[in-house]
């Protein structure tokens, strides 16, 4: 038997490398093609040293040229869409981690992320329980406000739609800030968090309307659970990475996993939770954050009534192509009563609202 030639050995090790994980597979394929091409050429030119030297220097030049133009090495974002150098760097470590993951780790991660949608936290607060805290907090705010000038935050809960003048909306209104994958949170965005209870925090300017909404829900016999509205930047990043890992463990490449994760978890820096203007709400009888919540009594009540208290269902069904986020019947965004009423009655997402008015 002949010993395997150098060619065969290279090819075998490339194939072995490619089987390691999806990232290696993508890298190994072009290398394999190049190897076949080069070995054919070498065989063709065997015996002619001058030609071989020319070919060698040509190949060297080509390799150097490629290393400058291929986005993997330069961080050129156009060729790979939204992926940048840092993220690809991470993919290598993620890919390595994936290779060593055990079944238990996989299922632990699965249960950690699954069913918790964009929240990723199991801590939730019964509306009845936090109402007392909200009342106390708002009473304090009122006291402070009465000492200064009243901003007129006490609006009619059923704002008359015909009285809303679209010209009165301003793109500089903090309540209308557009945050999505194209509009990241501005670096100089400032806000104060109100700690309602434990981890339950949100922009302090939202608490008054939140209180009114929860009171109305309790009155209507609707039992809501609020899931930590505010999420720190670190926490958002952690969630996003977990989702990517989960998809990669399911066999996706890093790029596929990134794009999939971007639909399910908001990209860090592009989440309304990071500025305390979004709330995830479920109920005691349906704790999972998925489409099913829309069919519960509580989900329906929220969808119908939230605008009266300044909230909108931020990622509605049928508008996924605009929001680029899957239907989330549990995610509510504060925009103020007038804007929420206007958007709800005109069936507008926040993106469409901006497009139409500003
Ligand atoms: Zn949310």
Q: Is residue 58 part of a domain?
A: yes
Q: Is residue 279 part of a domain?
A: yes
For residues 340-344, average pLDDT: 96
Rounded CA-CA distance 164/156 in Å is 12
Are residues 129 and 60 both part of a single domain? no
For residues 260-264, average pLDDT: 82
Read off the pLDDT of residues 7-34 as tens digits, 9 standing for 90 and up. Answer: 888 888 888 888 877 778 888 888 888 8
Which of 36-45, 166-175, 207-216, 236-245 is least confident? 36-45
Q: Is residue 241 part of a domain?
A: no
pLDDT of residue 237: 87
Are residues 207 and 332 both part of a single domain? yes
What residues have a C-beta under 5 A from ligand 1, the ion?
118, 280, 331
Are residues 133 and 195 both part of a single domain? yes
Q: Pick from 219, 302, 321, 273: which is nearest to 294 by CA?
A: 302
**Mean pLDDT estimate for the chain:** 80
Instruction: Kindly give the distance from the C-alpha atom of residue 357 to the centroid of ligand 1, in angstroms, as a whole number.
Output: 25
For residues 38-46, average pLDDT: 78
Rounded CA-CA distance 255/236 in Å is 19
User: What total number of domains does the chain contain?
Assistant: 2
Read off the pLDDT of residues 62-90 as tens digits, 9 standing for 90 and up. Answer: 887 766 554 444 333 333 333 333 334 44
Are residues 191 and 121 both part of a single domain? yes
Instruction: Kindly give the distance from the C-alpha atom of residue 153 to the centroid of ligand 1, in angstroms, as a whole number.
Output: 25
| Strand-pair partners of 201 | 195
Instruction: Kindly give the distance from the C-alpha atom of residue 101 to the centroid of ligand 1, in angstroms, as a whole number.
Output: 29
Are residues 131 and 190 both part of a single domain? yes
Maximum alpha-carbon separation in the chain: 96
Q: Is residue 53 part of a domain?
A: yes
Q: How far is CA 196 from the centre of its chain?
A: 25
Final residue in a domain of this structure, among 47, 69, 91:
69
Instruction: Kindly give the distance from the C-alpha atom of residue 345 to the centroid of ligand 1, in angstroms, as a whole number.
Output: 22
Q: Is residue 101 part of a domain?
A: no
Which of 74-88, 165-179, 281-295, 336-350 is least confident? 74-88
* 3-state SS assignment for residue 54: helix
Are residues 39 and 133 both part of a single domain? no
Q: Is position 238 annotated as part of the catalytic site?
A: no
Instruction: Kindly give the distance from the C-alpha atom of residue 261 to the centroid of ligand 1, in angstroms, as a whole number.
Output: 14
For residues 126-135, average pLDDT: 85
133, 298, 328, 338: which one is catalytic?
328
Instruction: Kindly give the distance from the C-alpha atom of residue 19 to the centroid of ligand 1, in angstroms, as a whole number.
Output: 37
Does the pTM of the predicted model rise above 0.85?
A: no
Are residues 34 and 121 both part of a single domain? no
Rounded CA-CA distance 109/234 in Å is 18
Are residues 121 and 19 both part of a single domain? no
Read off the pLDDT of residues 294-328 as tens digits, 9 standing for 90 and up. Answer: 999 999 999 999 999 999 999 999 999 999 999 99
Are residues 28 and 147 both part of a single domain? no
Q: Is residue 225 part of a domain?
A: yes
Q: Is residue 76 part of a domain?
A: no
Are residues 180 and 35 both part of a single domain? no
Q: Is residue 326 part of a domain?
A: yes
pLDDT of residue 177: 97
For residues 239-246, average pLDDT: 89
Q: Which residue has the tokens 């109100």?
A: 194
Instruction: Kindly give the distance from the C-alpha atom of residue 25 to the centroid of ligand 1, in angstroms, as a whole number.
Output: 35
Cβ-in-10-Å burial (0-12, 13-18, 19+) of 261 comes to buried
pLDDT of residue 157: 52
The pLDDT of residue 4 is above 90: no
Cβ-in-10-Å burial (0-12, 13-18, 19+) of 127 comes to buried
Are residues 154 and 44 both part of a single domain? no
Instruction: Kindly give the distance from the C-alpha atom of residue 356 to the centroid of ligand 1, in angstroms, as a whole number.
Output: 25
- Residue 187: give its domain's CATH number: 3.30.1380.10
Domain membership of residue 153 as a residue range: 116-231+271-357
Are residues 152 and 280 both part of a single domain? yes
């Amino acid at each position: 038997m002949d010993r395997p030639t150098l060619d065969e050995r290279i090819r075998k090790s490339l194939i072995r490398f490619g089987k390691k994980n999806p990232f290696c597979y993508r890298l190994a394929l072009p290398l394999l093609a190049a190897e076949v091409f080069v070995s054919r050429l070498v065989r063709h030119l065997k015996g002619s040293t001058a030609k071989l030297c020319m070919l060698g220097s040509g190949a060297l030049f080509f390799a150097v040229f490629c290393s400058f133009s291929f986005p993997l090495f330069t961080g050129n974002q156009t060729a790979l869409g939204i992926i940048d150098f840092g993220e690809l760097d991470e993919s290598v470590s993620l890919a390595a981690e994936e290779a060593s993951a055990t079944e238990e780790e996989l299922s632990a991660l699965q249960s950690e992320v699954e069913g918790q949608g964009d929240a990723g936290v199991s801590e939730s607060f019964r509306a009845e329980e936090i109402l007392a805290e909200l009342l106390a907090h708002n009473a304090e705010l009122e006291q402070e406000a009465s000492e200064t000038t009243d901003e007129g935050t006490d609006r009619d809960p059923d704002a008359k739609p015909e009285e809303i003048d679209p010209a009165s909306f301003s793109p500089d209104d903090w309540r209308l800030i557009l945050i999505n994958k194209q509009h990241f949170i501005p670096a100089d965005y400032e806000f104060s968090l109100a700690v309602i209870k434990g981890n339950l925090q949100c922009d302090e300017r939202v608490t008054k309307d939140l209180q009114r909404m929860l009171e109305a829900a309790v009155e209507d016999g609707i039992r809501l659970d609020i899931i930590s509205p505010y999420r720190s930047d670190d926490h958002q990043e952690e969630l996003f990475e977990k989702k990517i890992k989960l998809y990669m463990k399911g066999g996706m490449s890093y790029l596929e996993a990134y794009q999939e994760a971007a639909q399910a978890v908001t990209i860090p820096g592009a989440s309304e939770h990071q500025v305390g203007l979004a709330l995830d709400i479920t109920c005691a009888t349906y704790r999972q954050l998925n489409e099913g919540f829309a069919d519960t009594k509580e989900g329906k009540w929220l969808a119908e009534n939230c605008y009266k208290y300044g909230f909108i269902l931020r990622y509605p069904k049928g508008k996924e192509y605009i929001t680029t986020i899957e239907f989330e019947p549990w995610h509510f965004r504060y925009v103020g009563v007038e804007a929420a009423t206007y958007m709800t009655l005109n069936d507008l997402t926040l993106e469409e609202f901006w497009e139409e008015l500003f």
